[in-house]
Amino acid sequence: MKVTVARHAGFCFGVKRALDLVLAAQREATGPIHTLGPLIHNPQVVARLEEEGVRPLASLADASPGSTVVIPSHGGAPELAPRAAELGLRLLDATCPFVAQAHAYTAQLAGEGYQVVILGDQGHPEVMGLLGQAAGKASLVSDEADLDRLPLTGRKVGLVSQTTQTPAKLQAVAARLVGACHELRVFNTICAATSQRQAGALELAAQVDMMIVVGGRNSANTARLRELCSGLVRTEHVETAAELSPDWFAGVARVGVTAGASTPDWIIREVVASLSQLA
């Protein structure tokens, strides 16, 4: 059985930057350091950070005064900074620059009077941050079909996307909106790393008998990779090598491996090593 890893897989710039910021802060902090929710959507990395004393919190109110609290890579709401100051907390912003750019575009559209439409996953932390930037002036859709229930009340509509969505979904929503408003302004806020990983996964999926997608089950971009690959070939999603089942590979001559942008190299290497042993 031949094992091939996609040409773009694993940590993206924004995730690596967030992890580096936290580790540097952990070395320098004189008090407790926490993340506001998981720093990235990978349970194994979050567990390792907890072992180093960096514990995720559900809210700023859970931190003791003098603590450092890190805004995770998927960003947060604009009211976090004043709330942290009020509670006597040091706030460290590890928001991915691509997510921060999406925040800026969302706030710009809302400020210029556009009815803002956000393409994203309901309840995802990044999406909650985008909604916050629009100050209640945005509507969320998960695909173009959701537009049927959306009252487009303004002549001007602005469209932004969660950074981990697919270009095809963004194009489909934009195409549906074109005929429904007088003016449409679209900011393509899908990050380059997401597009690269999706393209690399699809390229590899077309060449193998089976795909293994590696990453956290709470990771939107990992779930998107599984969704895309499963449209071409049998696909299994695992968080770690321990979840691989030998039964999956009966009759499989070529297996491809890809990983979400929040999956560290050491987990990918363990999966590849286990697959090689099975081969």
Does residue 126 carry a catalytic annotation?
yes
Within 8 A by CB and 6+ apart from 101, the residues are 189
Annotated catalytic residue within 126, 183, 243, 270: 126
Query: Annotated catalytic sites, by residue?
Result: 126
